[in-house]
Structure 1
């Protein structure tokens, strides 16, 4: 357990004598033990071999054959965050969903991009063994090469910042903390449906931004989209690994970084929707183009993603909120606007991998 995350009580002078009333006030002010201390970041020295390919069967595909693929929402209250991206759900206990309902959930997230579930303390308090079983329903669990995890549970990726420390992938020499990305897109088989929740959060701030990569693509002219469909881009994990090798974020690299080439436009295997698949954090260059050509196109696409507020949704965290999103058709960014408060933000992510990204001409939906 990392000692840097421990919060120490302020020292009290040994010569100070407190009257009974003052002693009572002091007890009230004492900090209670942190409820989720067992889930604080741990940085094991374990090393893992390269990931191997596997066959991914998307659970959302199974839901298409259900008589009512949205039956798990029958008694829920839904509010759309925006017309094209995101829904907020009340009245569903994720921890009690059957396997069929989890399949339907995967389909709903694929269609809406992001789904926010409130009042999920039951889910959060079931602990890391439950998190692993939950995530395994949706795909092979990814072990992050550089992040902290609860001791003994490398499959649970943690984000963490408090007044004294941060174990996140953050740069201080930028005018903004907005850094759009699709999680670990450098993997041969990047994540699909992802589950994330906060165990502790600042009083205000620390929101998460999402953007629809389906909508960002649709905003572009048909001629330009046709050109993008012919392109592939290199996604790299090298910079993230080098960041940790400097001693930041825990200083651990458990698996050597990889680079993989993915289509610039990918298709979702269940919905068939096309989505832009580049992101500022991990996409490095477009294969086959001269350097200046690649840089010009990527800068245009990154700026388009950054500035298109009409494609975006903002999730404001409340206690016991669980958010699920589909990394194949969305990008997201944390908002680190709470630094000066010194408050803790402690999140856990369960990250199942999905299929190797499918290019525009590679998916047969006729069957």
Structure 2
């Protein structure tokens, strides 16, 4: 049975608890407090047929971009801020158009969403329109709702900083979510529940524009190459800190340059978080090319944006053609809380 609005939102008597965390942070939505069960296990992900909903969409997007909707582009290459529409009220046609718009603009920021009108059941229903939702093998989820990946930071819980490494000078770590899956994600949803007044933003970049900036000769050299994306390090970190490893960590080979199934755009598909080596190359050769590409996307400020948030923001992005990084630019005395739903899509199509 779905929780009521009263169960989702905070009141003075509510304290989120589970088997791992202690403390009493005052959350706006304690229902989504991260839950860890080291005995929770998931079977291996099975391959499935996928048809992208964006392929069904009306290019004019009449069910999404209505007369009441305002859309403001953040940069020429990536990012659009949208007001005047509630995602929870979109029809199936509107969700198809959302998939297409996210592919075209890469990142969409929907402001002023009413989370009292969109509980976990409806959130999951929306996300499943885009594909089966990945259940994360190591992160905190929501008790009874393993589809949610919980992003959480307070004075006592700072796992992201631990994972990134406390001895690093910069917290920037570019990645495409769970790219190690055999069928990585497409249209991804991020619900902002509690957010610092300043800071705690996300950097996004267009892997399409990053690819376009390369010389034609170098583009041709990259096309046809494949790289290994690995979940092994992520699982090892969780195991070291006594966290869950819900299934055997996977490694998958994906093209360095992939093609979007709807827009036809070519995009780099490498990220420092999970891409480990180029297949068929010696380690030094692989490192040379991958480190160049990592450096190329990290320095591409003219095809990056900084997405700023507030409670009630829902971020939608296409993980096939973007990379992103958290910005840990606020003290952990300040609460930040969000949840992600990550529908999986097709096996990456080589360019």
Query: Which aligned pairs between 1:9-158 and structure 2 lie closer than 5 A?
Result: 34-44=27-37, 45-63=39-57, 66=58, 68-75=60-67, 76-122=69-115, 125-158=117-150
Deviation at 1:339, TM superposition (A): 2.4
- 1:135 aligns to what SS in structure 2? helix
- 2:234 aligns to what SS in structure 1? helix
Q: Is the 8 A contact 1:208 1:314 kept in 2?
A: yes
Q: Is the 8 A contact 1:141 1:350 kept in 2?
A: yes
TM-score (norm 1): 0.87
Matched, 1:243 2:243: no
Q: CA RMSD in A?
A: 1.4
Matched, 1:195 2:189: yes
Q: Is the 8 A contact 1:89 1:115 kept in 2?
A: yes
Q: Distance in 2 between matches of 1:177 and 1:321?
A: 23
Q: In the alignment, which residue of structure 1 is the partner of 2:308?
A: 316
Matched, 1:264 2:256: yes
Deviations 1:97-125 (A, max 9, x none): 00000000100000000011101024x65
- Tell me which of 290, 302, 307 is aligned to 2:299: 307
Note closer, same or farther for the CA distance 1:325–1:347 as it changes in structure 2 (3 Å cut). same
- 1:186 aligns to what SS in structure 2? coil
Q: Distance in 2 between matches of 1:3 and 1:213?
A: 37
Q: Is the 8 A contact 1:70 1:108 kept in 2?
A: no
**Runs of 5+ in structure 1 lacking a partner?**
9-32, 361-367
Q: In the alignment, which residue of structure 1 is the partner of 2:23?
A: 6
Q: Is the 8 A contact 1:120 1:322 kept in 2?
A: yes
TM-score (norm 2): 0.91
Q: In the alignment, which residue of structure 2 is the partner of 1:16?
A: none
Q: In the alignment, which residue of structure 2 is the partner of 1:17?
A: none
Deviations 1:298-354 (A, max 9, x none): 0000001111100101111112100100000000000011125x1111110010000
Q: Is the 8 A contact 1:5 1:162 kept in 2?
A: no
Deviation at 1:38, TM superposition (A): 1.3
For the pair shown, the structure with the greater C-alpha radius of gyration is 1
Q: Distance in 1 between matches of 2:348 and 2:237?
A: 26
Q: Distance in 2 between matches of 1:204 and 1:257?
A: 36
Deviation at 1:172, TM superposition (A): 1.1
Deviation at 1:69, TM superposition (A): 3.0
Q: Is the 8 A contact 1:266 1:359 kept in 2?
A: yes
Q: Is the 8 A contact 1:148 1:167 kept in 2?
A: no
Q: In the alignment, which residue of structure 1 is the partner of 2:14?
A: none
**Runs of 5+ in structure 2 lacking a partner?**
1-17
Matched, 1:277 2:254: no
Deviations 1:253-275 (A, max 9, x none): 10110000000000000000000
Q: Distance in 2 between matches of 1:303 and 1:310?
A: 14
- 2:249 aligns to what SS in structure 1? coil
